[in-house]
Amino acid sequence: AQTVTQSQPEMSVQEAETVTLSCTYDTSESDYYLFWYKQPPSRQMILVIRQEAYKQQNATENRFSVNFQKAAKSFSLKISDSQLGDAAMYFCAYRSADSGANNLFFGTGTRLTVIP
Amino acid sequence: ETGVTQTPRHLVMGMTNKKSLKCEQHLGHNAMYWYKQSAKKPLELMFVYNFKEQTENNSVPSRFSPECPNSSHLFLHLHTLQPEDSALYLCASSQVILQGTSTDTQYFGPGTRLTVL
């Protein structure tokens, strides 16, 4: 089974600064999808950004961008100009591109604190 | 109503009780999921329903029983639970495309915080 590892249980960033959250994964597949989800204290899991493994270009979504290194099986999330509302648990997730595969494999999460 | 809703948001039950969790999605999706989220552990997929048919059961104990009467509603029936079943139970939905690949992004509800005494 695929595994997703987030080695930083907690991170903190000063408001308006930039922070990078790490994620690595293990798979033997060549085609797959990677996701970053955010779970604020209200608990609703929200999709932040998505990356298709066949695309070399890193995904960006406003202040959020990823550094996707397929050979290294690394998928980090960069948050620029951090805001207080960015404080949350961040989960990295992997899904096979096989149309018959439904399972999302999640990491254990990184708790991000934003310091005013 | 927006996205994926879950009720109740909090539930406390004894080990001999029977209760049900409800999930409803308003996104027109055709697949729904139950996940268990425990402290310091990755989210665990419990059940998957594609087109109202159960397609995956990740070795979940029989004290958890899912029901999917239509593509918009998903239930998780609970009976004779154990204290270690206390967790946040998340429901999600997605649009599955059977032919070819699909990004199949899953959208989550707010969860039900379950405490088993």
Q: Do A50 and B111 touch (CB under 8 A)?
A: no
| Euclidean distance between CA atoms A16 and A26, whole angstroms | 33
| Euclidean distance between CA atoms B95 and B28, whole angstroms | 8
Q: Do B102 and A105 touch (CB under 8 A)?
A: no
Q: Do A102 and B41 touch (CB under 8 A)?
A: no
Q: Which of A91, A99, A107 sits opposite B98 (nearest CB)?
A: A99
Q: pLDDT tens, B12-64?
A: 998 888 999 999 999 999 889 999 999 878 899 999 988 777 777 778 999 99
| Euclidean distance between CA atoms A37 and A45, whole angstroms | 6
Instruction: State yes or no: pLDDT of B98 exceeds 70.
Output: no
Six-digit token string for B111: 């969860």
Q: pLDDT tens, A49-77?
A: 999 998 889 999 999 999 999 999 999 99
Question: Mean of the pLDDT values across residues A33-58?
Answer: 91
Model confidence at B10, pLDDT cuts 50, 70, 90, reads very high
Strand partners, A75: A68
Model confidence at A1, pLDDT cuts 50, 70, 90, reads low
As a whole number, the mean pLDDT across chain B is 88
Looking at residue B115, its amino acid is T
E strand or H helix that includes residue A106: strand A104-106
Instruction: State yes or no: pLDDT of B1 exceeds 60.
Output: no
Q: Which of B31, B55, B111 sits opposite A43 (nearest CB)?
A: B111
